[in-house]
Amino acid sequence: MARKHLELAMRNPTSTAHLVASKMALFRRQYEESIAHAELALAFDTNDPESNLNMALVLMATEKPEDCLEFVNKTLQLDPRNMGAPLAAAGMAYFILGDLQKAATMTERAIDHNPTIAGRYESLSAIYALLGRIQDAQVAYDKSLKAWDFGRFPADLTTIMSSFLVKDRQVADRYADGLIKAGWLGSPSEYYKIYEENRLTGEEIRNLVLGQEITIHEFDRIYWIDHSIKGRAKDISRLREGKWWIEDDMLCYQMESGTVKGLNDCGEIYQNPDSSPGSE
């Protein structure tokens, strides 16, 4: 649904439209597209704090932490009243650079400016653990659990790493290691390895799902979709039917009822190279 609204906005693009497009592309690991939209958003207004912060996040994710810090500093100058998010970005940039002490300091400052953001305690728990400050890591872990509504979302490594957008696999492995040492549930073999080398082609996706009932884990619920040979899709748990197909190396659905009625829902599929048969 969000992509549909974005398509409409792009008919007369604005800085905000490009900013949203950049964020959406980054979340889907479409790094080049995210950078392109981030640059276009800044072209509309080079002094927009949100666009500068977004560029910092994109550069951080694409293995350019030094450039990220430049945009962090500019964001802080443009909007000194809202320092939490850029300081948190700086913390992750220093984490990528391997300077854990500065990473901890920046993340602590981010929390001081806004102590309600659960993800910052999560990051701090990993950083503290890698610094050997296990007791402090466990305190940050406990605060993260309290800040999140984990009655709905499972507090585990897989959920956290699904939204860890840094492109460098070694950085992701280091972050996951810190989270495990801090007390987060999971093992290195379990978290999603959402990297280009693990992405399935359209033919591989078809061979995987054709005629199969697939279990979908989606945050606070699990459901099952049966993929018929004729291209029909049946959401068994929510009693919805529709169709499925492969498009641009993505698995797509269109359901005939419910809140997503008539909307195309497409997504890339990645394999977990560390998984074993039967481990889902």
Task: Tell me, yes or no, whether 94 lies in a domain.
Answer: no
Task: Tell me, yes or no, whether 112 lies in a domain.
Answer: no
What sign for the dihedral angle of Cα 170, 272, 194, 189?
Answer: negative
Region 112-141: mean pLDDT is 94
Task: Tell me, yes or no, whether 232 lies in a domain.
Answer: yes
- Measured CA to CA in angstroms, residue 232 lies from 17, 160, 182, 216 at distances of 34, 32, 44, 17
Task: Tell me, yes or no, whether 229 lies in a domain.
Answer: yes
DSSP H/E element including 195 = none
Task: Tell me, yes or no, whether 143 lies in a domain.
Answer: no
pLDDT given at position 151: 47
Shortest CA distance to 145 belongs to which of 156, 135, 134, 136?
156
Task: Tell me, yes or no, whether 203 lies in a domain.
Answer: yes
Where is pLDDT greater, at 38 or 229? 38
pLDDT tens-place string over residues 156-196: 888 888 889 999 999 999 999 999 999 998 888 878 788 88
Q: Is 75 left (phi over 0), alpha (psi -120 to 50) or beta?
A: alpha
Mean pLDDT value across the chain:
87
CA distance 261 to 259: 6
Domain count, the chain: 1
CA distance 232 to 250: 16
- 10 Å Cβ neighbour count for 17? 21
CA distance 131 to 141: 15
Task: Tell me, yes or no, whether 161 lies in a domain.
Answer: no
Domain with 234 in it: 196-267
pTM (predicted TM-score): 0.84
Task: Tell me, yes or no, whether 141 lies in a domain.
Answer: no
pLDDT tens-place string over residues 253-269: 998 887 778 888 888 88
